[in-house]
Amino acid sequence: MIIGLDVGGTHTDVVLLGKNGIEREIKVPTDESDLFNSVLTGLEKITYNIDPSTIDRIVLSTTLITNAIVQNKIPEVGMIVSSGPGIDPEYYRTNRFYYPVSGSIDHRGREIEPIDRNEIEKIAWDLKKEGIRYVGVVGKFSVRNPSHEQNIARILGNFFDKIFTGHRISGSLNFPRRIATTYINAAAYPIHKSFFDAVKKSLQKKGLDIPMYILKADGGTTSLDASTDFPGQAIFSGPAASVMGAMPFAPDIEECIVLDIGGTTTDIAVLINHVPVLNPVGINLGAYKTLIRSLETNSIAIGGDSSVSVDENRKLKVGPQRAGPAMAYGGSVPTVTDALVVLGKIRDCDKDKSFKGIESVALSLGIPTEEAALNIFDNACEAILFEVKEMISRINSKPVYTIHEVMEEYKINPGKILLIGGPAPYFAGRIEELSGCRVGVVPRWNVANAIGAAIARTTCEVALIADTELGFALSAEEGFREKIAADFSMTDAVKTSFRLLTEKAIKRGACESDLEMEVIESFQFNMVKGFYTSGKNIRIRAQIKPGLVQGYDSIADTLTV
C-alpha cells in the first residue's frame, strides 16, 4: 500500500491506497504555524490499526517551501558567483550576501583565469562572522567544466554546513537562471530538511520505516535522501499533485483544463491528449527566474474560504485574503463558502451564521441577501475563468511543450474542465454555464491531490555534452566525464545519457519497470577550423517521462464519486 499526503493551505489530505483502490482517506485542518503536527495528525489517523509491513512507501506534497519564499521567511545564505568577462554578475544579484569573484572558464570548458584562494577564504570568514551556514557557488560555464565550482566548494567546506554548486543543481547553460536556482535551493535547504527529518523520525517511531518520496514540480517523485540536495524541486508540488490526481480522468484526445479549487487558492493546469503541459524553461518565483522543471500551472488567491467584503465605492470584493474558515464553520468573516450555504448548495453547517455574514454584505450593496450570495459566487467563478483564459493565451503565444513533445504552431482550445478540491461539486454547474465547456468533477475530488501524489512515479533528467575535438563527454550535473573517440556520434550520446539516466533514477527510488526514457532535446554542431570540420559538439537532454507507477496506474478504474 502507498500513503499519499498533500499539505494544502486549509486542509491536509491523506489517503491510503491499495491495489484495489482507496483503503482509507482523511482530512485534517492545516495549521500553517505548525505544519509538522498537521502532518503527524494525518499520518496517525491514516495508519491507525494498520500493519506497518503492508505499507510500501509514502509520498508527500507540500507548499511549505513555496510559502516561505513568497512570504520572505527564508534564511540568509551566501552566494559566490564567478562569471569572467562579459555582463557584470551584479545584474543577477539574488540577496544581501552576494559576492562576484575572480576566475573564469570559457564556453568550451577551458580555464581562462584561475580562482583566487585568498579571495574565497576572506569571503568565507566574512560570511561565517554573519552567521551564514549555507552557501551557493555558481560559475558561468561550470556545466562545461565544473573545476572552479568544485575548488571553491572545497575551500568553503570547513566553514559551512552545506555548499550548493550550480553545475549539480542544473545542467543548463542559462547563467542568470542557474544563479537564481542555486540560491533558491540553498535558501530552501534548512526548511526542507528540518521538516522532512522530523516526519521521518516520527514515522520510524511508529514502526513505519518505509521509503519516503516527495512530489516535485514536474509531476514526478524523488526520494527523500535525494531531495535534500535539490530542495527547490519541491516548490509547486501542490499544483503538480492536482494535475496528477486529475490525469487518469482526462479525455484521451482533447485539451482539458484542470481546476483544483481549495479553501485558499485555485490551481490551474492544462492537459493535452491526456498529458500535462510543461513549462519549458523553469519556475518563476517572484523576482527569481529559475531552472526548476515544472508543469505549466497557475495559482490564484480564490477559494472557498476567500474573504468577502465591500469597498468604499460599494464594490464587491472577493479575496485574495483568507481570514480563517467560513462563518458556517466558526469563522468571523463572510466567505465564498458562506455564499454557497445561502444558495442552498451546502447544508451540513451553521446556516444562520452564514446568512448573518452574507446579509451584512447585502446591506452594504443595497440588495437582497440571496442576490448578494449569487453575486459573490459568480464573482469567484468569473475570476477563476478569467485566469483560465489568460493562461491559455500565454500558452498559445509560444510553442506548446508537453511532457512528451514540443508542439510548434499548436493552439489549445479546451472543450472540457475537470474540477477537484473540496468545493468542486458546488462550482461545477455554474462554471459550465459561464464557460460554455463541459465540466466534470473528478471522483474522490476532495482528496484527489493526495491520490495524485501517491501514484506519481519517480522522474529525473540528464544533460550531456560531447566535444569530439577536445575528446570528452561530460555531464557535470551527474559528476560524469569520460574520454571519447573522434567518431563519437549522436547515437552514442543517446546511449550514454540513457545509461546515466537509469543510474540516476534508480538512486532516486525508481523501479526499473517505470523507466520510460526519452530524448527531450538534441543538438549537433560541426566545429570548423579553416576550411575543415575539426569535430562535433553534441548536446543531449533526456528524461524519465512523468506518469503513474505500475500496479497503481489503473487506480482510476476503482474510484467512484
How many Å apart are CA 482 and CA 238, to the nearest integer?
39
Residues counted in the chain: 561
Average pLDDT over residues 479-484: 92
Average pLDDT over residues 471-499: 92
Name 194's Cβ contacts closer than 8 Å, sequence gap at least 6.
Answer: none
Q: Which of 543, 559, 561 is nearest to 455 (CA)?
A: 559
In a domain, 383, yes or no: no
Residues 48 and 14 in one domain: yes
Average pLDDT over residues 295-323: 86
In a domain, 91, yes or no: yes
Task: Specify whether the CB–CB gap between 103 and 115 falls below 8 A.
Answer: yes
How many Å apart are CA 336 and CA 304, to the nearest integer?
5
Count of domains forming the chain: 3
pLDDT beyond 80 at 280: no
Least confident of 97-111, 114-128, 315-329, 542-556: 542-556
In a domain, 223, yes or no: yes
Q: pLDDT tens digit string along 218-235?
A: 888 988 888 888 888 888
Residues 82 and 181 in one domain: yes
Q: How confident is the model at residue 441 (pLDDT cuts 50, 70, 90)?
A: very high
The DSSP letter of residue 164 is E
Q: pLDDT tens digit string along 381-404?
A: 999 999 999 999 988 888 777 766
In a domain, 392, yes or no: no
Q: Which of 395, 140, 413 is nearest to 278 (CA)?
A: 395
pLDDT beyond 60 at 560: no
Residues 95 and 132 in one domain: yes
CA distances from 353 to 331, 358, 360, 429 (A): 9, 9, 11, 25
Q: Which residue has the higher pLDDT, 338 or 30?
A: 338
Q: Which residue has the higher pLDDT, 338 or 285?
A: 338
Residues 142 and 176 in one domain: yes
Residues 61 and 101 in one domain: no
Task: Specify whether the CB–CB gap between 537 and 524 falls below 8 A.
Answer: yes
Least confident of 153-157, 234-238, 348-352: 234-238
Residues 7 and 151 in one domain: no
Which of 27-31, 162-166, 259-263 is modeled with the greatest confidence? 162-166
Residues 162 and 99 in one domain: yes
Work out the mean pLDDT of the chain and round it to a whole number: 86
Name 129's Cβ contacts closer than 8 Å, sequence gap at least 6.
Answer: none
Q: Which residue has the cell 557584470?
A: 88
State the pLDDT at residue 526: 81
DSSP 72-102: T-PPP-EEEEE--SSS-GGGG--SSSEEEES
Task: Specify whether the CB–CB gap between 274 and 248 falls below 8 A.
Answer: no
Residues 175 and 115 in one domain: yes
**To which H or E segment does residue 122 belong?**
helix 117-129
In a domain, 478, yes or no: yes
Average pLDDT over residues 234-262: 84
Q: Which residue has the cell 529525473?
A: 460
Phi-psi sector, 107: left (phi>0), alpha (psi -120 to 50), beta: alpha
Domain at 27, CATH number = 3.30.420.40
Range of the domain at 111: 78-185
Please state the separation of Cα 497 from the chain's center in Å.
24
Residues 478 and 528 in one domain: yes
**To which H or E segment does residue 495 belong?**
helix 490-507
Residues 197 and 176 in one domain: no
Counting runs of H as helices and runs of E as strands, what totals does the chain give?
A: 14, 31
Average pLDDT over residues 182-205: 83
How many Å apart are CA 48 and CA 206, to the nearest integer?
10
SS3 247: helix
Average pLDDT over residues 422-447: 91
pLDDT beyond 80 at 412: yes
Name 337's Cβ contacts closer than 8 Å, sequence gap at least 6.
Answer: 263, 304, 305, 325, 326, 328, 329, 346, 354, 423
Name 313's Cβ contacts closer than 8 Å, sequence gap at least 6.
Answer: none
Domain at 90, CATH number = 3.40.50
**To which H or E segment does residue 239 belong?**
helix 237-246
| Phi, psi of 424, rounded to the nearest 5 degrees | -50, -50
Q: Which of 202, 193, 189 is nearest to 38 (CA)?
A: 202
pLDDT beyond 90 at 294: no
Least confident of 410-424, 463-477, 532-546: 532-546
State the pLDDT at residue 484: 92
How many Å apart are CA 186 and CA 286, to the nearest integer?
17
Q: pLDDT tens digit string along 72-81?
A: 778 899 999 9
CA distances from 193 to 61, 150, 196, 306, 546 (A): 14, 23, 5, 31, 25
Residues 135 and 51 in one domain: no
In a domain, 134, yes or no: yes
Name 447's Cβ contacts closer than 8 Å, sequence gap at least 6.
Answer: 6, 13, 14, 15, 22, 25, 27
How many Å apart are CA 50 and CA 187, to the nearest integer?
37
Q: How confident is the model at residue 561 (pLDDT cuts 50, 70, 90)?
A: very low
Average pLDDT over residues 526-539: 76
Residues 132 and 221 in one domain: no
Q: What percent of the chain is predicted at pLDDT more than 70?
A: 95
pLDDT beyond 70 at 197: yes
CA distances from 241 to 234, 269, 278, 547 (A): 11, 11, 14, 12
Amino acid in the structure at residue 132: I
Q: How far apart are the first and last CA of the chain?
A: 21
In a domain, 334, yes or no: no
How many Å apart are CA 191 and CA 212, to the nearest integer?
17
In a domain, 372, yes or no: no
Amino acid in the structure at residue 378: D
Q: Which residue has the higher pLDDT, 531 or 523?
A: 523
Q: Which of 237, 190, 216 is nearest to 66 (CA)?
A: 237
